[in-house]
């Protein structure tokens, strides 16, 4: 299935491109815009990003597969990411990860049958000083306890 950016998004990419000295440096902004439009980054989307920026496809692939904010498949309406890296691990990150998986009956990178929830174990999300933390889509929740996690997950329904 082919993918083309909308005219509006092409303009956004052009604006973003002006902020950086090279087209390669604009790849993260462009991938973000692509994910907003398509929901996830497929092979076709990566090809279009490379084409629009005039860069090699491998540069797009390396960014998409490195950062957990980008997805190569469609995730749930609420994508719950749980950090289990050192600071979060030391403050209960693995217990929270088990709690989240059990809550939805899902394993890593799985999506519920109704498309509402998906879960992902992630490495450090840069909020170590507020560990343990989770993210729901683009919202961070920090200094968590199991009770607070339960409240957050219940509020998503
Ligand atoms: S270790 Fe969890 S946010 Fe850094």
* CATH domain 78-155 topology: Glutaredoxin (3.40.30)
CATH class of domain segment(s) 7-66: mainly alpha
Reading phi first (left if > 0) and then psi (alpha if -120 to 50, else beta), residue 41 is in beta
* Closest ligand 1 atom, residue 86 Cα: 1
Q: Is the CB of 90 under 6 A from ligand 1?
A: no
Q: Which atom of ligand 1 is nearest to the CA of 131?
A: 2
CATH 1.10.10 residue ranges in the chain?
A: 7-66
The CATH 3.40.30.10 portion of the chain extends over 78-155
Residue 157: what pLDDT?
Answer: 75
> pTM value?
0.90
Can the peptide bond before residue 132 be classed as cis, meaning omega within 30 degrees of 0?
yes
Instruction: Tell me the pLDDT tens digit for each residue of 51-91.
Output: 999 999 999 999 999 999 999 999 999 999 999 999 999 99
Q: Kindly give the distance from the C-alpha atom of residue 118 to the centroid of ligand 1, in angstroms, as a whole number.
A: 20
Atom of ligand 1 nearest to the CA of 128: 4
């Amino acid at each position: 299935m082919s993918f083309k950016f909308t005219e509006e998004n092409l303009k956004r990419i052009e604006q973003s491109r002006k902020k950086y000295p090279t087209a390669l440096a604009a790849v993260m902004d462009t991938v973000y815009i692509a994910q907003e439009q398509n929901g996830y980054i497929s092979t076709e989307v990566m090809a279009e990003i490379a084409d629009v920026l005039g860069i090699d496809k491998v540069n797009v692939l390396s960014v998409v597969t490195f950062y957990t904010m980008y997805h190569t498949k469609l995730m749930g309406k609420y994508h719950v990411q749980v950090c289990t890296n050192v600071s979060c691990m030391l403050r209960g990150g693995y217990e929270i990860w088990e709690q989240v998986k059990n809550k939805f009956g899902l394993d890593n990178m799985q999506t519920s049958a109704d498309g509402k929830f998906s879960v992902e174990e992630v490495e450090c999300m840069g909020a170590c000083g507020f560990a343990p933390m989770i993210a729901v889509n683009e919202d961070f929740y920090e200094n968590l306890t199991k009770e607070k996690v339960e409240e957050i997950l219940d509020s998503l329904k």
